[in-house]
């Protein structure tokens, strides 16, 4: 049935729904903690019309049909009673973290469903280059990599990161061969012929469809943690060369739209909708982690002011905080425009 829906429409619905869930988290916790919410908008302004009003909140339909927003009362003005800025530190922190929490919960649910359905979660060696370190150590095509230096391997990036961190030093690999676990020591080379890599192997993901619901939830939590770790260690991996600058560059809404469209197209053509489930989890996790960054105007930036207040024992003046967020918003808008320009001139998916 989903195959009959145009890819562009599915893309807008998917990305919009994930953003809307983020805002729903803010709205729900604000109402639960007694913070007034002036507007819950579907889409982005300008406003077209008001659907209804409930509990002092206007639910509106806006012109740009993508995602949504929540406008709490007194967001930056502590003089407004019942507003966000006049609430306690705990309440403000809870409301600010609620959007991130909603996205993480969404990621947890969709990842769990994905792991239960079955998707690529093991790494199999497709081929081994003759006389390369992997061949010298005794690795063979068809071997499934279970661990590297005691750490589980679920994706090719797990093995690649460990390899680039220990070039010229021995790695302890546990592999599965004909349902038997075997241990090998491989020393990745520091230089190698083009296209071969440090160990001289070609890898491929293998689908696992035998997880229980509990195992699936566990792998879901691990996957979210892995995504957070990848973000935190991105600068180090850039320096090590395990990821290129072009692969690490941020993408904007245009690049995200292109990647989501391609993912939906692949899912439609292959009828493997688990691909889309996995992508939903990744995007939802990325939205959560991105909003936690301590950048003014983002949830993480506003949360930093709450933390500073807790450490200092007194509040930074509302005017100063407002000015910082306004400046941050302008800079963030400029960065988004620049990233969108890069998405057009150097698209992540060649047009």
Pairing of strands 201-208, 180-186: unpaired
86 with 33: CB under 8 angstroms?
no
Alpha carbon 162 to its chain's center: 21
Residues in the chain, total: 351
The closest alpha carbon to 199, from 211, 209, 214, 184, belongs to 184
Per DSSP, the residues of 72-104 read ETTSS-TTSTTSSTTS-HHHHHHHHHHHHHHHH
239 with 174: CB under 8 angstroms?
no
Judge whether 222 counts as a catalytic residue.
Answer: no
DSSP H helical ranges for the chain: 7-32, 89-117, 133-137, 156-165, 213-232, 234-240, 245-248, 253-270, 274-292, 299-312, 318-345
Catalytic residue among 23, 39, 75, 321: 23
Residue position matching structure tokens 């241990």: 183
H or E element: which one contains 181? Answer: strand 180-186
103 with 111: CB under 8 angstroms?
no
Would you please indicate which residues are annotated as catalytic (active-site) residues? 23
């Amino acid at each position: 049935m989903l195959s009959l829906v145009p890819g562009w429409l599915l893309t807008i619905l998917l990305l919009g729904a994930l953003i809307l869930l983020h805002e729903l988290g803010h709205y729900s916790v604000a109402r639960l903690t007694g913070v007034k919410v002036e507007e819950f908008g579907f889409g982005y302004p300008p406003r077209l019309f008001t659907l209804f009003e409930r509990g002092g909140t206007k639910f509106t339909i806006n012109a740009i049909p993508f995602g949504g927003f929540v406008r709490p009362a007194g967001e930056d003005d502590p003089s407004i009673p019942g507003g966000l800025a006049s609430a306690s530190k705990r309440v403000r922190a809870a409301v600010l973290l609620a959007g991130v929490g909603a996205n993480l919960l969404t990621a947890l649910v969709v990842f769990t469903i994905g792991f239960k359905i079955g998707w690529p979660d093991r790494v199999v060696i497709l081929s081994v280059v003759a006389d390369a370190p992997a061949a010298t150590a005794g690795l063979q095509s068809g071997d499934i990599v279970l661990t590297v230096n005691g750490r589980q391997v679920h994706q090719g990036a797990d093995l690649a990161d460990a390899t680039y961190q220990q070039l010229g030093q021995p790695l302890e690999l546990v592999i599965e061969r004909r349902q038997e676990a075997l241990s090998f020591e491989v020393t990745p080379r520091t230089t190698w012929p083009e296209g071969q890599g440090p160990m001289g192997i070609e890898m491929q993901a293998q689908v696992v469809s035998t997880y229980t619901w509990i195992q699936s939830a566990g792998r879901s939590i691990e996957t979210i943690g892995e995504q957070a770790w990848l973000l935190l260690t991105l600068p180090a991996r850039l320096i090590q060369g395990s990821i290129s600058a072009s692969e690490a560059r941020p993408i904007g809404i245009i690049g995200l739209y292109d990647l989501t469209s391609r993912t939906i197209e692949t899912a439609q053509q292959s009828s493997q909708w688990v691909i889309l489930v996995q992508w939903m989890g990744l995007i939802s996790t990325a939205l959560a982690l991105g909003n936690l960054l301590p950048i003014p105007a983002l949830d993480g930036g506003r949360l930093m002011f709450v933390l500073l207040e807790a450490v200092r024992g007194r509040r930074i003046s509302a005017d100063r905080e407002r000015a910082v967020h306004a400046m941050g918003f302008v800079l963030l808008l400029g960065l988004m425009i620049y990233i969108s320009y890069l998405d057009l001139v150097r698209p992540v998916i060649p047009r």
